[in-house]
Every structure is written in structure tokens, then in C-alpha cells.
Structure 1
């Protein structure tokens, strides 16, 4: 389509305002032009189409069927332009990118890597938000999530890698030496720690190991993953956790993972409802590399 196939942007703006306000006069006031200027712009569109876009209704105007079609297209196009313009201005002004994630992911994965992120992506300014509803994108530019596909069609998703979970326990556990020598199947005879938010974690791991999910004795629930892992570190039992969230504890020896980690079918993702934010490409590449390092 060439530029000559499109009507004047001024004419479309005048039409959209008149259609939205049901008034040529109000449209003129909004656009800071005369009533006659709006009328001429609308008339130029009608002449080009060969059909009316408005009919009079009392003291106001009402869009025709053709007018309604054009109005919907204008609103969608102007809305997209407005969003893109706002986003580009925000990026140019150095406004922070609001990254949301669960409190556990924030405390155990994002914050410990924040200094490295700032060093490797110095142009990116992040504002961190702990989300009460981990799958919500409300109030954030992008969310770091552990989710299984399919994802909502309104999301733009950056796939970062497969989720891997596994059992962990502390060297302080009173029975650590015996447990470390046992096969994974023996965990079915042990009291296991889990979180209220994800009671399916142990059954998911059991299935990935070829074990019967119902064999896992989940005896102690904790309200959040952070508390779960602190309980495990204190030697109170065997917990189940995503590998990246315990990587630092495993490296320091604070926790042990004798039975390894298995993929669950879930994915680490960055999800946004604001497509086109160029900062997300760099953030996704960084997060993908960090997760792959484990």
C-alpha cells in the first residue's frame, strides 16, 4: 500500500474525535481548530469513500455503519500509536522497567544476581516488585514466572528455559548420611516438606523419576517457598525446590541435592502485555544465560 492509498492523518483525527464525541463542535474544541475545519476534514473522507460517515441525530451526529467500521479502526490504530510513543519516550527518559515476580524468586534468585545484572546491563534501570498474584501482569512491565504452556494470547512471552525441580536437605539434617545413601524411591518412606502454594511439586517430581506420585508423604506444609527452604536448611526435613532457587545454597554447601533435579514440563518465562519494549530482549538474554549456567 502506498502513502496515497491512505487518507490524511488530520482527517482521520478529526473524524475519530467527532465520532467519539458525537459532535463536530466538541471535536473542534478538543483539537483546537474551527468547526468548519473538522467538517471539511470529515467531508474529504466521505467524498473519498463515496458514502456518508455520519447522519444527524437531534442536535448531534451518529456514525453510519461505514463510520462505525472506520471509527473502530481509528481507535485501535491511534491507541497503538499512543502506546508505542509513550513507551519510547519512557525508555528514552530512562524510566525504570518494572519487573514483577514472586517473593521467593525475588529473594532467592533476582536480588542475589542484581549486582551482576547492573554490571552487565548498565543501561537498564530495574524497579523490582513482589507480586501477591504471581501470574498477574497488573502493575508491572514484565513478570518473571514459572508457568506451563499454553499462555494467555495477550502475553508476549520470552521462553528462558525448562523448569527443573528436586529434593534438597541440609547437612544438619539428623539423618543426612543415611538418606544420602538411599535411592530416590526411598523418599516415599520419609516425611517431606512442601508449600501450600504448590502441593503438586512432589508428585510432579515423582512422576518425572518414574515413581508413584501417591507414594510421597507430604507431612509439613509451609506458606512460602522461602520458608520451606529455610526449614530445610535448619535440618527440619527434605524439601522440594526449583534448581535455580537453591543453586547458591548448593554451591555453598548449605543444602545438598543427592537425588538430582528433573524437568516438570514448566518453563521459566518473562511475560509482558506490552509488546515491543526493546529493553526486554536484553533482559531475556541475560536471564536465559543465568538460568542455563545452573
Structure 2
């Protein structure tokens, strides 16, 4: 069976419509063809497969067991094709620019600047993804990637973008020298790189909560539940709006350079280059540590 000749795609479309609608005539209306054309397509399909796919039921039809098995496969396959076509249609919009960015940077630094980007580029509709597995900059899926490490892909330009550090923050109204419990990220506590720093400088503090998402650490600090150790880029908006303040009596930990990447040479749309340049300008305006 694996070497069997595949039926005509036209036959499969007619079959799927008739199976879904339970009627040759309704399938014909949906496909804008005659009922005899649908009947002929299904007859040819049954001839090729060597078994009936439908049986008459009242004024309509119902699937045989073989028809049910085929419809299960054909229906799923056509749905995948329709989904793929809808994706292609989406990407035909000249205003779409896809940016992939780590979730903490997207939430704390990029998201507050999206409106500024849209004001600078009125045609822009950004697609912002935190799926870091989709970091391959190409002609379709990713226009601009913001990453913790350079991508070092062939045909891709990596540029230093921002610097980041782990800082201690607390509620804006916290009195100087006040004792607070610690909010932190589980990944940082277990990290060979950051863990020793936390144990050395914050080991004497009682832990209020440990989270597996840095955005939850930040949210807990904004809610006044304790002092948080967070990325400066994640805390950027909360610091700028006065929801939180940095606690200068505690040391910082350098997290290194954040990179931005795009395809080399002419980009698929001038707007991609415009957004890339605007992001670089915004990074230059970022408050220095």
C-alpha cells in the first residue's frame, strides 16, 4: 500500500466535502461544480481504491467503514493545508514584522516601546514571539531576533543591542534600610554562575517565594511581597514608572550583552530595516547603569 498511486487531489476534495456535508448536491454547491461532477469524482476515487466509500441514506449519503477511515486522514490533511495557506495569507501583509525575543525582555523592555514603534511606523503590525526555538532568521518566520547570545548564523548580521544585569528591587515606598524577604527565580538559585552570588550577598535573607518565571518574581515585588532579584531589562518599565526602585545597598550581577539580529543584505520589506533601526535608536536611549 505504501507504493500505491495517490488519488487526484480534485477527487479527494470532492470526497471530503461530500463526507463532511453528507450530500453530493451540497458538496457540489460548496465547490461551485455540478452534482454530476462530484458524483464522477467519487466514482473515480472508488474505482481507484477498489471499494465503495459511500452508501445511500435517504436523500443523502453516509460513509462506509472504508470511507470513514479515508475521511479521517483526508480531513486532517486538508485542514493542515488550509492552515498553511492561511499562514501564507497572513504574511502577505506588508505591515507585518516578526520579532522573536526572550520573554523577560519582551515583557519588561520591548512591550512598553511597541506603541512608540507604531507611532514611528504607522503601517507596522508587529508579531512578537517569545518562542526562542524560532530563532532562525529567514524570509518567512523571523525578521528580527533579540537574543542573549549572538546567533552566528550564515547570512545573518548580529549586533550588540543592550546590556543587562541582575539587580535588587523593592516597592517604591520602601524605607531605606528596611528588612524585606527575598523573591527570586529558581533557575538563578540553582545556576552555577548566579547561585554563588546570591548565596554570598543574599544568603542571610529569608525567602518569601521562589518562582520558575521571572515575570512572576517581578509581579510579586510590584505587589509588595518582598525584595526581588530581577533582570534590569525585565524591571525597566516598573523602574521608569516608579512602581519599583532599585535598592543600591545591594550589589548587581552582570548578565552580559543582549544581541539583535537580522538577515544580511536587502530585507524582505523596507519596514523590517526601519523597525530594526528604530530599535537600535531606542537601545541608545536606554538608561545606563
Compute the TM-score of the two structures, normalised by the length of structure 1.
0.52
C-alpha change, 1:83 and 1:105, in structure 2 (3 Å) is same
Q: What is aligned with 2:230?
A: 241
1:90-119 CA distances to partner (integer Å, 9 max, x unpaired)?
A: 22133646989999866631146559978x
| Of 173, 176, 192, the match for 1:174 | 176
Q: What is aligned with 2:13?
A: 13
Q: How far off its partner does 1:25 sit?
A: 1.6
Q: What is aligned with 1:80?
A: 80
Q: What is aligned with 1:225?
A: 218
Contact 1:202/1:216 (CA < 8 Å) preserved in 2?
no
Inter-partner Cα distance in structure 2 for 1:169 and 1:218? 14
Q: What is aligned with 1:192?
A: 181
Contact 1:168/1:241 (CA < 8 Å) preserved in 2?
yes
Q: What is aligned with 2:89?
A: 89
C-alpha change, 1:192 and 1:259, in structure 2 (3 Å) is farther
SS in 2 for 1:5: coil
Q: What is aligned with 1:57?
A: 57
- Gap regions ≥5 residues in structure 1: 127-140, 147-157, 177-189, 195-200, 263-277
Q: What is aligned with 1:260?
A: 253
Inter-partner Cα distance in structure 2 for 1:193 and 1:42? 69
Q: How far off its partner does 1:31 sit?
A: 1.6
Matches within 5 A, 1:53-202: 53-94=53-94, 96=96, 108-111=108-111, 114=114, 125-126=125-126, 143-144=129-130, 160-161=147-148, 166-169=166-169, 174-175=176-177, 190-192=179-181, 194=183, 201=184
Inter-partner Cα distance in structure 2 for 1:246 and 1:96? 28
C-alpha change, 1:103 and 1:247, in structure 2 (3 Å) is closer
Q: How far off its partner does 1:46 sit?
A: 0.7
Q: How far off its partner does 1:41 sit?
A: 0.4
C-alpha change, 1:204 and 1:79, in structure 2 (3 Å) is closer
SS in 1 for 2:61: strand
1:222-276 CA distances to partner (integer Å, 9 max, x unpaired)?
A: x982683697xxxx974221353247979xxx745614268xxxxxxxxxxxxxx
Contact 2:99/2:146 (CA < 8 Å) preserved in 1?
no
Q: How far off its partner does 1:175 sit?
A: 4.2
Contact 2:107/2:234 (CA < 8 Å) preserved in 1?
no
Contact 1:55/1:64 (CA < 8 Å) preserved in 2?
yes
Contact 2:28/2:38 (CA < 8 Å) preserved in 1?
yes
1:67-86 CA distances to partner (integer Å, 9 max, x unpaired)?
A: 12221222222212222222
Compute the TM-score of the two structures, normalised by the length of structure 2.
0.53
SS in 2 for 1:94: coil
